[in-house]
Amino acid sequence: MRGPHNIWRLVRTGATLERTGAMKIVLDAYDAPPLLRLAARIVGWPFQWLGHPGDPTMPPATRALTALGPAYIKFGQVLSTRPDLVGEDLARQLRVLQDQLPPFPTTVARRTVEEELGHSVNSIYSEFSEPVAAASIAQVHHARLAATGEDVAVKVLRPGIERAFRRDIDAFYLAASIIEFLSPASRRLRPSEVIAHFDGVVRGELDLRLEAASASTFASNTEGDDGFRLPAVRWQESGRRVMTMTWAEGAPLGDNAALDAAGHDRDALGERVLTLFLNHALRDGYFHGDMHQGNLKVAADGAIIAYDFGIMGHIDEYTRRVYAEILYGFIKRDYMRVALVHFEAGYVPADQDVDEFARALRAVGEPIFGMDATRISMGRLLSYLFDVTERFGMETRTELILLQRTMVVVEGVARSLSPQINIWEVARPVVEDYIRRNLGPRALARDLGRTAEVLARFGPRLPVLVERALVRQMSELDASARKPRSGGWLWFSGGLGAGIVLSLIAVVILS
């Protein structure tokens, strides 16, 4: 339940960070100024006894986040892919959050399977192992189907995970409300809407039937992608809290030593991760929204295998075109075009100066080009982007949150494989190909064809719709007959003309 009682949850968050020693590590990672360190010490130290102790065998940051709960673990998973933001040491500590969390007992998992599928575990699987991976929401067991002998992975939700997430999300809602109240300037970032978006994503992740459907859709879209594979869903052995898929054998993408020992080209893998994500986002409008190292493997033949489809992103075709034009503008260093696209899409208020915005974008983009990737401070870059968006009154686009967040994660994964990778060089051919296919005369003809298809579907209803509109207008005219209005005839004839035009369109399409 939402409410002021969640203040206790927020207090314990700060106390837990202090008690586990994670507060100092976080402040060091972000190179916090002395005043902020002093304030954190004054606020946190007296109340540290209220914090969760966590598992003392874990590193401080991992210890704190696992003690706080699954929503905090999700946050740590994102940070683990960004050593450029949090430092190599902290990123390494957080990486265990991806698939190396403490598992729950196998007896509980077996009971969940039996309750969900309505049969004993032994009748479904001839073998059912101890947990082979454990993450924030579920854990995975290696099993073998009794009917076919096929090796499979069985994903089982953690017991009580729904309630735990609800508690964390409620506290986040309160934090967003407090931020909006204390800082009116922050409202343009829509903190509550951002949390609502995260809430919706999490709800979808807690129903494994939806994840199975997502995996099936994703597999259909990417069937022709070279060097990319997905495990297949076994629907008969899946349900709301249990999902069975074919077993994916390979080296973890986050284990560089294992990749090197297997003879894989890490530079090529880094480029392929970025290329795949951009293709899925731009070409399909449907992409893996949790593409960190813990959800990726490399097969013996070098193919990247993705799994864990609880978070998938979808963007409509118009938004894809806007996104592509923005990327293309940065790649071409055409900042005026990038600025105009922002204005055309309504991302920047119309009363702002487009020339000033273009100059601000140039100040963001120019330092990237010609610079070695290892010298780029993403922290400073993101900080400057935040200043730019605040200056020009841009509001957070909640529909793009997952896309932006995944881009950050994928870039982090690519750089963990190949520190020297240049994301702009990798992105250029993908974006150029999309622009060629979707922003030319051929694309215009395709759009007109789709419009005609929509009109054709509504064609049989057009006469009825026109008749209703005319009757409504005639009724309004009759009711206002004693109150003549200038332009009344034009209003009526305009409606009649629109009806005739629609009818003609229908006749042409249907003939």
User: Residues with catalytic annotation?
Assistant: 290
SS3 letters across 350-409 = CCCCHHHHHHHHHHHHHHHCCCCHHHCCHHHHHHHHHHHHHHCCCCCCHHHHHHHHHHHH
CA quadruple 458, 461, 462, 465: dihedral positive or negative? negative
Continuous H helices in 95-189: 106-117, 121-124, 161-182
What are the start-end ranges of the H helices in 22-160?
22-29, 34-44, 60-68, 70-79, 83-86, 88-94, 106-117, 121-124
CB 243 within 8 A of CB 318: no
Nearest to 345 by CA among 391, 289, 382, 400: 400
> Helix/strand/coil (H, E, C) string of 228-269?
EECCCECHHHCCCCEEEEECCCCEECCCHHHHHHCCCCHHHH
* Alpha carbons 365 and 328: distance in angstroms, whole number: 12
The span from the CA of 5 to the CA of 262, in Å, is 52
Q: How far is 378 from 384, CA to CA, in rounded Å?
A: 10
Two structure tokens written together for 79: 């940070």
Pick from 102, 69, 76: nearest CA to 91: 76
Sequence-separated (6 or more) residues with CB below 8 Å from residue 261:
none
| Angle at 21 (CA atoms; ends 19, 25), nearest 5 degrees | 145
Is residue 351 within 8 Å of 344, Cβ to Cβ? no
**How far apart (Å, rounded) are the C-alpha atoms in residues 266 and 251?**
12
Q: How far apart are CA 239 and CA 113, in angstroms?
A: 9
Q: How far is CA 283 from CA 95, 305, 397, in A?
A: 30, 19, 21
Q: Is the separation of the CB atoms in 354 and 377 below 8 Å?
A: no
CB 341 within 8 A of CB 325: yes
Using DSSP, state whether 132 is helix, strand or coil. Answer: strand
User: What are the structure tokens assigned to 133, written together?
Assistant: 């991976």
Q: Of the candidates 327, 419, 430, 427, which has an alpha carbon nearest to the alpha carbon of residue 372?
A: 419
User: In whole angstroms, what is the distance from residue 90 CA to residue 39 CA?
Assistant: 22
